[in-house]
Structure 1
């Protein structure tokens, strides 16, 4: 028996896959449900645009700070137990923020839920490699689709479900704690059912030192910086849209329920593209053409929002969703721009951490601009500028270069 790939008990392979899918479903509703119900939350808690902007900017902050800590948390007991804790954090955060009597209580428990999401974001790929080393593509596709479905479905139905509950907003946000409870219970079963295998897998592995001098620090690597900038630009656009798109459409005159559904469209377009984009990216030595297609889709949508925001709302949402497929493209680039697993690990940690830090000010700036101008024109132009920046950095990141080569062009053989 391979000590690094211990045999699973009968039936646990399917249970693990189900557990991973359920955990993935919970990695976005805390964000997208709030985006869909942001207007009543702002009104009931008497938030101004600056505070609302801070709250919509919290997700990338939590992901940047807490995400890199996940491997350390998982080092002693294993990622399975840490995922149990992550689901518990999401459960408590979603349930308790809906009871918040003021903005700061709401903020604290939102941050708790997002801390759980940050840990889950990092550990899902770890669990795929750990338990399904020969089925990485299939299992990764399954959980990333679950992430996209969790985001899009919740965004689309958050408003009508909240209306059906007869709630101002509290019931509509608290409801999404239920999937987190289910996922947590399944992961408890997984953890106790696999204690022997987890103990075996937690045996210490000697650190490899030989590759570090060859790559050097990522902070001095031009390829790593272009990846980080591209990841940061697309993350900024994504979190602005998740936090503000329904309110933008609503303020332009779209019915609130339909505005929430439009966010569902933006996110739902990413479901099929999460499979298509990685496959396409792997066929290109230079991923720049794919970046340009996404950028054009985004800029057409921005022009449409400024010219005919209500009449073409559905079309603009679809185009923004296509632009949003830069997320799976950025993740794929991380895997393509390193020759070795060690290179991918270092590039992923640097690219995602720096990228999420870059994304932090975006939602806040949108809220601040809207608050000071009482108009959506400048915020939308800000989004346009970010899409242009995303396109430029994506073209640079997409070049056939590798972190081990210190950004020197390398021939890619078909």
Structure 2
């Protein structure tokens, strides 16, 4: 199991960092390739769009190839996309970005499947938390390192060199698979069907993030009682549950739009409004990524001691402080980067805590998770290029920050309503 955990960590380092790396050198990329602000926004918006629209393809890929092969395809795709993005004109930069987005979609789906099957029941939360934290650490490292590298070797080599992490992941997973084959565990994890023949792979119920995927049985196998499974799939969502889910779609749309617009443009905002050099802007923006770890682990602790709406309200206040603070008191940009970072980490956890609490079964939770995330990632696709267009239109950053403010207010209002509505869902969830 420790080898699998390390494999998850190595994979997680690659699942957000490739999107974040270009944001530290957007100005250099635009100057060299001729990309306008909308095109530059696609460097983060395009992968996120693929998160939303390519999930069915990723699910079928896992079912057909198995999880280990899917991991290798993910890492190989990230490596290939990173290379493509680092050479050639603007169209090739965007092509490489699309390859990266498709590859990351595979990784988003396969990690929770591996965690569910390989990690003991009492350590699933630890593994999931480590996975989430590692993605933020990878994002922070790329923001800190890309600009200094670009100052020495240029932006193309600076983002290309992060492919070393993907290559290291490929080497590790190849050796891990070889080790498992020697020990007689070579069969694909994803091909372990439910023992009593529901006829579908668990991959079909795994969402792009691990927060609410179907939980494993305490034995660590896929064994599920057939009668109970059939009953759970026949449960029709109640009207109140559907209301909560629609509110969570709106909430996650605000969360995702605010996160990806900020991630894309915060270094540029700091460089232009505060006079920071590329390295300084990237270092400050990295605080937005690493502070998410505090929010991700802090919200569950707070939720255990308060009513469901309390964590959402606190996260909303912290989220809103980011755009308002950058407009009203930009000299305190370090503080706003930290408060916004805590909020973006806590916001994701708060959303999927509500979902898990209100779902009546694991099957219902999984389908609801896919529904919520698809809507959220579609909103996130639009936000970065829209913010770039607003910047070009107004020749300033107030309008883009107002867009982030609208997104965070949406999170606060819809999230609070969803949290209050979820309190009416008193039936404890089952795990079938």
Q: What is residue 46 of structure 2 aligned with on the other side? A: 58
Superposition deviation, residue 217 in structure 1 = 9.8
Superposition deviation, residue 371 in structure 1 = 1.0
Secondary structure of 1:398's counterpart equals: helix
Q: What is residue 426 of structure 2 aligned with on the other side? A: 410
Aligned counterparts of 1:331 and 1:186: Cα–Cα separation in 2: 31
Q: What is residue 342 of structure 1 aligned with on the other side? A: 363
Q: Does 1:131 align with 2:118?
A: yes
Superposition deviation, residue 21 in structure 1 = 0.3
Q: Does 1:259 align with 2:281?
A: yes
Is the CA contact (8 Å cut-off) linking 2:49 and 2:381 kept in structure 1? Answer: yes
Of 22, 28, 32, 1:34 maps to 22
Of 167, 170, 187, 1:199 maps to 187
Aligned counterparts of 1:370 and 1:92: Cα–Cα separation in 2: 32
Q: What is residue 67 of structure 1 aligned with on the other side? A: 55
Aligned counterparts of 1:218 and 1:107: Cα–Cα separation in 2: 42
Gap change, CA 1:98 and 1:199, over 3 Å in 2: same
Aligned counterparts of 1:282 and 1:104: Cα–Cα separation in 2: 49
Q: Does 1:118 align with 2:115?
A: no
Spell out, residue by residue over 1:146-204, the C-alpha distance to the aligned partner (whole angstroms, 9 max, x if none). Answer: 111111121122211322xx223101100111111111121122233334435275243
Aligned counterparts of 1:220 and 1:411: Cα–Cα separation in 2: 11
Q: After the TM superposition, which of the residue ranges 337-346 and 379-388 deviates more from structure 2?
A: 337-346
Of 159, 164, 179, 2:165 maps to 179
Superposition RMSD in Å: 2.3
Aligned counterparts of 1:269 and 1:301: Cα–Cα separation in 2: 13
Of 333, 349, 356, 1:313 maps to 333
Superposition deviation, residue 296 in structure 1 = 1.5
Superposition deviation, residue 346 in structure 1 = 1.1
Spell out, residue by residue over 1:210-266, the C-alpha distance to the aligned partner (whole angstroms, 9 max, x if none). Answer: 323323499992222122221121011111111111011111122221110111100
Spell out, residue by residue over 1:11-38, the C-alpha distance to the aligned partner (whole angstroms, 9 max, x if none). Answer: xx22111111000011111111111111
Gap change, CA 1:22 and 1:203, over 3 Å in 2: closer
Q: What is residue 9 of structure 1 aligned with on the other side? A: none
Is the CA contact (8 Å cut-off) linking 1:68 and 1:349 kept in structure 2? Answer: no
Count how many residue pairs are aligned between Structure 1 and Structure 2. 391
Aligned counterparts of 1:261 and 1:183: Cα–Cα separation in 2: 25
Q: Does 1:109 align with 2:131?
A: no
Matches within 5 A, 1:274-353: 274-286=296-308, 288-309=309-330, 311-325=331-345, 326-353=347-374
Superposition deviation, residue 356 in structure 1 = 0.8
Superposition deviation, residue 267 in structure 1 = 0.5
Is the CA contact (8 Å cut-off) linking 1:285 and 1:412 kept in structure 2? Answer: no
Gap change, CA 1:262 and 1:400, over 3 Å in 2: same
Aligned counterparts of 2:299 and 2:187: Cα–Cα separation in 1: 37
Q: What is residue 2 of structure 2 aligned with on the other side? A: 14
Is the CA contact (8 Å cut-off) linking 1:218 and 1:347 kept in structure 2? Answer: no
Spell out, residue by residue over 1:129-158, the C-alpha distance to the aligned partner (whole angstroms, 9 max, x if none). Answer: 110142101211221111111111211222
Aligned counterparts of 2:107 and 2:344: Cα–Cα separation in 1: 21
Of 413, 416, 421, 1:395 maps to 416
Q: Which runs of 5+ in 1 are unaligned?
A: 1-12, 403-407
Q: After the TM superposition, which of the residue ranges 214-223 and 33-42 deviates more from structure 2?
A: 214-223
**Taking structure 1 as the reference length, what is the TM-score of the superposition?**
0.88
Is the CA contact (8 Å cut-off) linking 1:270 and 1:322 kept in structure 2? Answer: yes
